Amino acid sequence: MYKALTLALSMALIPAFALAGPPPEKKAGIESKDYKWNAQEGEKIEALKLKGDPKAGKEGYEVCGACHLPSGAGRSDGTFPQLAGQHTTVLIKQMADIRAGLRDNPTMYPFAKELTDAQELANVSAYIESLCIPVDHGKYEGPDADKQIAAGKALYEKQCIECHKANGEGVKEKFYPVLAGQHYKYLLRQMTEIRDGHRRNANPDMVKVIKPYTNDQLVAISAYQASLTMPGSMCKAKPAAAKGGKKK
């Protein structure tokens, strides 16, 4: 069934909306006074306790590859994030949040919903974590890139490094995401949504930091994040996963 879906998707380039059933019920997030970030409940804690099997996860990932690409690299236009090498903890939390209606993602929800149980969540996450982070992701490409990256670096080192670390490697046990290798345009969208309270599963301590940022500062800090590298964890995407000749 996954195979058929993947095929249908890649042929018609994602008429996902046609498949969408009813959206999830919205769970109260950062907009609510009672919001507790990363509450340890539901299928998330179950999946976190399980040992993921990357081999089984590879099969479960097939349906995801239609949007996030088989390599996990996503798309540089920022529509689909790069996932390869992300911590299993982060992947499980984000998937569980999307499934539970705590992070809004109408495009992906019908597919996220298809994963059967906590074990499959753990398996798919183990597979994604095992993929190498692509070096050739979307970067900031303006003529003032050097200036933007320098301004972003100064902000990052003051306010973000504590959680996301010097190379953007995050902290697995604390659910702090890897940022290195992520597309500039996706980063800018997430930073904007987190600042403006639209990413409802956001971390309140991070929101405090980013709340006063101007749009210009968000551009600079996104440019810097997209320039981060994690030596030893990154590689060129395999040829099969590179931009398909005809699609351009």
- Applying CB under 6 A, the residues found at the interface with ligand HEC are 14, 16, 38, 63-64, 66-68, 79-81, 83, 91, 93-95, 105, 107-108, 111-112, 115, 124, 156, 159-160, 162-164, 175-177, 179, 187, 189-191, 201-203, 205-206, 209-210, 221, 225
Q: What's the Cα-to-Cα distance from 78 to each of 68, 102, 160, 170, 226, rounded to whole Å?
A: 11, 21, 21, 20, 12
Minimum CB distance to ligand HEC, residue 23 (Å): 14
Q: How many residues does the chain have?
A: 248
| Closer of 100 and 112 to ligand HEC (Cβ) | 112
C-alpha distance from residue 147 to each of 142, 143, 152, 218, 227 (Å): 10, 9, 9, 14, 13
The residue among 140 and 156 lying less far from ligand HEC, judged by its C-beta, is 156
d(CA 246, CA 58): 26
**Residue 140: CB minimum distance to ligand HEC, A:** 14
Residue closer to ligand HEC (CB basis): 64 or 100: 64
Minimum distance between the CB of residue 201 and ligand HEC, rounded to whole angstroms? 4
Question: How far apart are the C-alpha atoms of 61 and 206, rounded to whole Å?
Answer: 30
Nearer to ligand HEC, 14 or 145 (CB): 14
Question: Which pair of structure tokens corresponds to residue 32?
Answer: 């609510």
